[in-house]
A and B are shown apart, each in its own frame.
Chain A
């Protein structure tokens, strides 16, 4: 367990160095939230029928999205990219750790630490200035927290799978261009998923990215009642297992093909 804690600490220390960038990022997030809220308010103003979300719920979705944005599997670990490029990844095999587990925990740290650092100020701002409501019951809050944990697992598994694919693509550049926008869109940060067209809902309800921000948001606001929450938590777990297994398999193949044979 100790080496994994160490990874978390290192990541925190690194991020703390970039304080000014973090503050700038925070201001950007808050700005975005304010703009999105104004846009939604303008749209809702002429809404005649009932929408899948009330304006208040939609606004809550926006702020949750901004607070938790760092949880998304939106970027790749530059260090790992460099290791794969140079071939130094072979040295990682010398560590007494299973490569997949090691990479998975790195990804967890990469997701959790910035999320904690970013979400607290955003939650504070939203609570103080934007009337962010609390979850309606204690059980909803607990379900929310659990779904956040599962979201972190899912996101880390996706990230690790992407990292594994770099054994074949070498450069992460192409993926790095597409990943942010795709994850932002399908997790519901750009527009809350319930507001998407009705005909898209079946597809949106099944795709994995909703497990990262959409499901926790729905639990928080009560769109998913607490009694139904376990099904959705299960949904997150299923996708997590899928990506974890796929990632493990991919790494095993990569190790067999490239590292041991000297590629």
Chain B
């Protein structure tokens, strides 16, 4: 286990070094990414400026969900970069070489690439989150903040699981993988708003099938007393993201077994 962690970090260090070599370019890209993701929150702010509240949620409160969502997504996006381009590996036949190494396939793909530039979105989400905490008067070492932290971890796990899921599809087909973008980027966009505004079918899908509502909305809604269930339910809900990640990994293993039977 320790070996795996050591190798993972060594590979990340290599990726970090090679991306830092082009420091100027990295800074420019990260800044551009920061600015471009900032446009997201501007779009939301514009609507709040005119309408003031949405279903009882004020801008500062929504900003809490927004911050957690963006931080979680950015974390997953930068770490799961290896899965993004996985379909190429399968198409090229390079997956055989992955199987020839005495190391788990999931770990190998996970450590293949890390996109540090995505820190732009992460920082943007963090700013919004900290601003929101200040506006709402949530101190940094309170149990509420722990809940927020847990929501962040759950969100990151959920999106990471979705990226793995997208890559796993390559074992069955190399077409229409872009449809998964609906749940990843689409999930991010729609998850930035409180789930309560969407219709029941939508809400149900994003609660029980892809537990987007569980990782950020429910914990924060409970924290802010927008929902009536107890704080504990809200605090535990992000676990759904971790479970989803686990299930995605299991599906991946199934995909590998299929690859080994059909030989692609």
Contacts and interface: CB of A to CB of B under 8 A. Distances in A.
A42 B55 contact: yes
A20 B87 CA distance: 15
Interface string B182-226: 100110011001000111001000000000000000000000000
A16 interface: no
Given A27-B182, A184-B39, A191-B46, A38 B176 contact: no
Interface stretch (A44-52, A128-136, A205-213): A44-52
A64 B2 CA distance: 54
A27 B50 contact: no
Given A38-B199, A43-B47, A173-B29, A32 B54 contact: no
Given A35-B190, A177-B29, A185 B179 contact: no
Nearest to B51: A43
For the residues of A in contact with B, the DSSP-based class is helix
Interface stretch (B30-38, B98-106, B136-144, B249-257): B30-38
A23 B189 CA distance: 20
A27 B182 CA distance: 8
A195 interface: yes
Interface residues of A, number: 34
17 contacts: A21-B178, A28-B185, A31-B182, A32-B189, A38-B197, A39-B54, A43-B51, A44-B51, A51-B50, A174-B28, A178-B32, A181-B35, A184-B39, A185-B42, A185-B43, A190-B43, A197-B49
Interface of A: 20-21, 23-25, 27-28, 31-32, 35, 38-39, 41-47, 51, 173-174, 177-178, 180-182, 184-185, 190-191, 195-197
B85 to A, nearest CB: 15
A35 B181 CA distance: 15
- What are the 10 A-B residue pairs with the smallest beta carbon separation, nearest first? A24-B178, A177-B32, A42-B197, A181-B36, A181-B39, A190-B43, A43-B51, A20-B175, A35-B190, A24-B179
Nearest to B186: A31
B53 interface: yes
For the residues of B in contact with A, the DSSP-based class is helix
Nearest to B53: A46
Given A27-B182, A46-B55, A185-B39, 17 more contacts: A24-B177, A24-B179, A28-B181, A28-B185, A35-B186, A35-B190, A35-B198, A45-B55, A46-B51, A173-B25, A177-B32, A177-B33, A177-B36, A191-B43, A191-B47, A197-B46, A197-B50
B189 A35 contact: yes
Interface in B222-263: none
Which of A31, A38, A41, A47 has the most CB atoms of chain B within a 10 A radius of its CB? A31
Nearest to A22: B178
Task: Classify chain B: how many residues form its interface, as a range.
Answer: 35 or more
Interface of B: 25, 28-29, 32-33, 35-37, 39-40, 42-43, 46-47, 49-55, 175-179, 181-182, 185-186, 189-190, 193, 197-199, 202
Contacts of B189: 32, 35
Contacts of A20: 175-176, 178
A44 B39 CA distance: 22
Contacts of B193: 39, 42
Contacts of B42: 185, 190
Contacts of A177: 29, 32-33, 36
Contact of A178 (B25, B35, B198): B35
Contact of A195 (B32, B47, B177): B47
Nearest to A43: B51
Contacts of B197: 38-39, 41-42
